[in-house]
Amino acid sequence: MYLILPSHTPDPELDPVIMRRRTLIAAALGLPGAALPAWAASAAETPDSDATLLKASFGEAYGAALHELETLGARYVTHAGALDRHTIMDTGLWVFAQANLLAAKSELKHKRHAKRLAAEAAMFAAGCYIDFGNEHAATELYSRAHTLCGDGDRDLRAFIHAQANWVPMYSGQWRTVLRRSERIIADAEQHGGFGLLMGWMHLAHAQAILGDKAGALDSLTRAQANISRVPGARSPQTALGYSATKVWFSSSTVYAELGDAARQGDAQHRALEDPTLGWIDRNLMRLGQAQLDPDPEYAARRIRMHVLGLPRDSFNHCIKAQAMRITGKLKAKQITRPQHAAGKEVIALGQYLNTVEVA
C-alpha cells in the first residue's frame, strides 16, 4: 500500500489538483486516513475540477475517465511518454481511483463498466511499476485488477494474468513464466483477447531461454497464427493492448535468443513497419540484434554504447534486466573460449549496468 503514495512531503508549490488526485488514489486503495501525511489529508478538502467530475452523470464521468486512460496508454509507449512516465503513472492511478469511486456510487447497471475501467487502470499502472522495477507494487495492482474483473470480463482477466507474468520474467524466474504461460493460454483459448497472444509469446520466450528451441519455434508460429483471432490486434500499439506489432517485436527478441539472425531480421522489419511501435520495444530490439554478433566483445560494446546513449530519466527496469541477462550470456560464451576469461568490453558493460539506476 505504502508503495503508491510518496512518503515525503511534496514541494509546497505542488498543484492542489495533484495533491487531491493522490488523496483519491489513497482512498481507492483503502489506505486509512491516519496513514495519510498531513498534506494529503488537507488536500482532501481542496475543491477542484476532479470533485465536480463525480457530480456529472455516469456517462460523462465514465467517458472522461476512459478517454484519459486511452490517452495515457497511447502516450506511454512513445519516447515522450518514457520521459514523462512518473506523471503518466500518477494519472493512471487517478483514473483507477475515479473508476473505483464511480463503481461505488453508480447504479447496478453501470457497476460492471466502472469496475472494468478500474481493472484496466490498475493493470496499466502495474505495468508502469514493472518499468520502474517495483515488483511489489505491480503485484498488488495486478491482484486488484484481477479482483475487479467479473465473470463477464474473462478476456480482460486472462490479459491481466498474462501481464502479471512480467513480474517473474524480469526477475529471471523463467520456469515460473513457463508454467504460468501454459495456464494463461488454456484460459485465453476459451475467452480470447490479448492474453492469448501474450501468453504464447511469453511461453516462446521462456522456452527459448530454457533451451527448448523446437518448443519456442512452435509457440512463435502459434502466436503469429492467432493474430487474426484477436479483436483489436491490428490496431495501433498502446499500453492497453497487445497488437500484431507487439507479436512481431517479441518474436524478434525470441529469434535473437535462439541465434536465428535471418528470422530475427524479418520479424524486426515487420515490427518497424508500424510507426506506433513502442520506444522501449525499439530499444529492446536493438539489444537483441546486438547479441547476435558472433564476437562477444563487439556485441558488448554495441550494447554499452546504446544504453549509454539513452536518456537517464527514460532508462527503465526492462531494458536494464534484458541487458544484464545478455551480458551474462556473453560472459559465459567467452569463458568457453581458450582464454577462459571475460574480455574488457563485457566487463565494462557489466560494471556499468551494476551501477546505473532506474529513474
Digit-coded pLDDT (tens) for 267-283: 999 999 999 899 999 99
Question: Does the pLDDT of residue 42 top 50, yes or no?
Answer: no
pLDDT at 95: 87
What per-residue string of b and e applies to 321-339 under the rule 16 or more CB within 10 Å gives b?
Answer: bbbebbbeebbebbeeeee
Q: How far is CA 95 from CA 46, 49, 66, 243, 353, in A?
A: 18, 14, 8, 23, 34
**Distance, CA of 206 to chain centre:** 17
State the CB neighbour count (10 A cutoff) for residue 217.
18
For the ranges 123-127, 174-178, 190-194, the lowest mean pLDDT is seen at 190-194
State the CB neighbour count (10 A cutoff) for residue 303.
27
Residue entry with cell 541465434: 259
> Does residue 234 or residue 82 have the better pLDDT?
234
What per-residue string of b and e applies to 134-168 under the rule 16 or more CB within 10 Å gives b?
Answer: bbebbbbbbebbbebbeeebbbbbbbbbbbbbbbb
Mean pLDDT across 127-145: 90
Handedness of CA 80, 239, 71, 68 (dihedral sign): negative
pLDDT at 191: 82
Measured CA to CA, the distance from residue 214 to residue 157 in angstroms comes to 29
Mean pLDDT across 223-252: 94
Cell of 194: 490479448
Question: Does the pLDDT of residue 135 top 70, yes or no?
Answer: yes
pLDDT at 274: 92
Measured CA to CA, the distance from residue 163 to residue 124 in angstroms comes to 9
Average pLDDT, rounded, for the chain = 84
Question: Does the pLDDT of residue 13 top 60, yes or no?
Answer: no
Measured CA to CA, the distance from residue 32 to residue 14 in angstroms comes to 23
End-to-end alpha carbon distance in the chain: 21
> Does residue 96 or residue 39 have the better pLDDT?
96
Is the pTM above the cut of 0.95? no
Binning pLDDT at 50, 70 and 90, where does residue 19 land? low
Instruction: Find, among 129, 115, 118, the residue nearest to 4 by Cα.
Output: 129
Mean pLDDT across 191-207: 95
Cell of 35: 496513514
**Secondary structure of the chain in the HEC alphabet?**
CCCCCCCCCCCCCCCHHHHHHHHHHHHHCCCCHHHCCHHHHHHCCCCCHHHHHCCCCHHHHHHHHHHHHHHHHHHHCCHHHHHCHHHHHHHHHHHHHHHHHHHHHCCHHHHHHHHHHHHHHHHHHHHHHHHHCCHHHHHHHHHHHHHHCCHHHHHHHHHHHHHHCHHHHCCCCHHHHHHHHHHHHHHHHHHCCHHHHHHHHHHHHHHHHCCCHHHHHHHHHHHHHCHHHCCCCCCCCCCCCCCHHHHHHHHHHHHHHHCCHHHHHHHHHHHHCCCCCCHHHHHHHHHHHHHCCCCHHHHHHHHHHHHHCCCHHHCCHHHHHHHHHHHHHHHHHHHCCCCCCCCHHHHHHHHHHHHCCCC
For the ranges 19-28, 184-193, 201-210, the lowest mean pLDDT is seen at 19-28
Measured CA to CA, the distance from residue 51 to residue 24 in angstroms comes to 10
Residue entry with cell 536465428: 260
The length of the chain, given as a count of residues: 359
> Does residue 216 or residue 15 have the better pLDDT?
216
Mean pLDDT across 43-47: 43
> Does residue 195 or residue 90 have the better pLDDT?
195
Question: Does the pLDDT of residue 123 top 90, yes or no?
Answer: yes
Q: Give the percent of the chain with pLDDT over 90.
A: 57
pLDDT at 26: 56
Mean pLDDT across 285-301: 93
